[in-house]
Amino acid sequence: MNNLQIRNFVIISHIDHGKSTLADRLLELTNTVPKDKMRAQYLDMMDLERERGVTIKMAPVRMIWKDSILNLIDTPGHVDFAYEVSRALAAVEGALLLVDATAGIQAQTLFNLEKAQKQNLKIIPIINKIDSPAAQIEKTQEELVSLGFQKEEILQISAKTGQNVQNVLKAIIERIPPPIENLQNPLKALIFDLLYDQYKGVIAYVRVFDGTIAKNEKIKFLIGETEGEILELGYFKPQFATASKISAGEIGYLKTGIKEISKIMVGDTITLASIAHPEQDLKIAGYQQPKPMVFASIYPIEGENHKKLADALGKLKLNDYSLSFNFERSKALGAGFRCGFLGLFHLEITKERLERESALELIVTSPTVDIQVTEHGYREPYVDLEIITPQQYLGQAMELAQSHRGQYKEIKYLGDRVIVLYENPLSEIIIGFYDQLKNLSEGYASMNYQFSGYRDADLVQLDILIAGEKVEPMTQIVARSKSESTSRNIVKKLKDLVPRQLYKVSLQAAIGAKIVAREDIPAMRKDVTAPLYGGDVTRKRKLLEKQKKGKKRLKHLGKVDIPSDLFLELLKID
């Protein structure tokens, strides 16, 4: 195998721009997956990904086309999984920039493009969905040209029909440079993803930069300062395909047998254990611990499942390095974990993965941002917000940003669309803002944001009381200017979410000793078996059994039973 034959690349794209469909066509054209086994979104291995139509996890695959080895790392398009993209970019030399001709360039696409350019990757611009009646090919082409691409280098395809997709394969080989690593140098491999196997321990997804690694060799993890032995290695086709060795320039997997998952991390460098003092020269720099933007607590409904939840979080973190968690105990909900996420969608996906993969029933508290408490008051995180919108929606988009405590910075132009920049508190952006932006622009606007630092803020602590008892997990820090409207919305929503009890239940929002909002839930008087008169006794039993099952997903909170999804349902407040 010659390094000149290898091409390593990713696909950069916004959600629904056709990235998974293009990957499917590449798999078909290269005969990587037999036609009788092919299905849509083939590289989206999780049921959750196919159900939602969203790539959540990066997925590597090795394809062969015209004597060339093409290593694709398929990446997510949602803003909450930007860290997945950054890890993939560190392992390749090129990127396909895929833009939907019916939607144009989106904010998240620009963000990932900038990252790829900083890595000095070769970018191949591609316009997709040219077969759609709504395609605006010339307009999309102008947007790409405004970003610095030459008109003649822009490919036009339909990933759905396969039109011109062979030109993509040709461009990958002709434009993306081969890796230049040296086989003779000591082993240096970067971990860009991890997986846990109950039989073979930690499985590392690696890009080998220098040297060669073979089965049964002893390896060392430089950051984790631990050692292991290669039980198996190979390539992604896209399932694991064993090989005798992996050499410089290649992408593959290593089964290590290591069961102590806390000692292995994404971004670590692997070398041979026999190399003396390797950290001096071989450690690959550039990876940073992702910074959580949103925090929420996770508790098992059944208290005895705390250890099971701890194990599940540890294994999930291997596969999702942007997840963080620490033990905590709540008077109301018992033992749980305070978890950090990159965004609300990341939180939602994490909850679903934990419940599915570990058969757990969980309560997730209302998400918050990281507020700093000082002797002078509060400091809250701010973000640089970027909105891309057609010009006719500019005024509404600006009003929306300003109503969420935004401070205007700048306007730029992208073809006949506008990029408007604001500085906003993170807490104003994470809940509901994106949906409101999509609604006011009829789906045409998009947004992206990056953490910019902490600022002093006029905030107050808002407490929620149910049946006169303070509910700790519902306590939040809010802007003083919005505290009363937020309080009214919360108690109003709680009235619909908290099940009726056998007694009247008060719902209150308080700032300090002052009650600023209140609703009451009337007592429940109806007996589920009352309408039944005479007849088969099994009818009563069925109703009572149904009622019993319904209680299984309740958690006792002080005097009141609450549904497990109550906290996330609160996010639907207008």
234 is in an annotated binding site: no
Please, what is the end-to-end C-alpha distance for the chain in angstroms? 59
The closest of 348, 553, 566, 369 to 464, measured between CA atoms, is 566
Report H helices in 392-470.
394-403, 426-429, 433-440
376 is in an annotated binding site: no
Contacts of 514 (CB under 8 A, 6+ apart): none
515 is in an annotated binding site: no
47 is in an annotated binding site: no
Pairing label, strands 68-74, 94-100: unpaired
Residue with tokens 């690696």: 206
Using CA atoms, how far residue 408 sits from 379, 403, 405, 538, 542, in Å, is 20, 11, 10, 66, 60
Give me 540's structure tokens.
């009563």
DSSP state letter for 368? B
Pairing label, strands 245-247, 294-300: unpaired
Q: Give burial (CB, 10 Å; 0-12/13-18/19+) of 170.
A: middle
Using CA atoms, how far residue 191 sits from 209, 213, 384, 558, in Å, is 11, 14, 30, 46
Tell me how far apart the alpha carbons of residues 133 and 441 are, in angstroms, rounded to a whole number: 21
19 is in an annotated binding site: yes
Give me 33's structure tokens.
């997956």
131 is in an annotated binding site: yes
365 is in an annotated binding site: no
Do 419 and 387 contact (CB within 8 A), yes or no?
Answer: yes
Do 200 and 255 contact (CB within 8 A), yes or no?
Answer: yes
Tell me how far apart the alpha carbons of residues 348 and 343 are, in angstroms, rounded to a whole number: 9
Give me 420's structure tokens.
């408007």
197 is in an annotated binding site: no
Tell me how far apart the alpha carbons of residues 58 and 283 are, in angstroms, rounded to a whole number: 23
129 is in an annotated binding site: yes
331 is in an annotated binding site: no
Using CA atoms, how far residue 65 sits from 6, 32, 62, 222, 551, in Å, is 10, 9, 10, 35, 57
Q: Which amino acid is at 284?
A: I
Using CA atoms, how far residue 334 sits from 1, 290, 362, 499, 532, in Å, is 57, 28, 12, 21, 39
Give me 232's structure tokens.
């198996």
Tell me how far apart the alpha carbons of residues 314 and 260 are, in angstroms, rounded to a whole number: 10
Known binding-site residues equal 16-21, 128-131
Known binding-site residues for GTP equal 16-21, 128-131
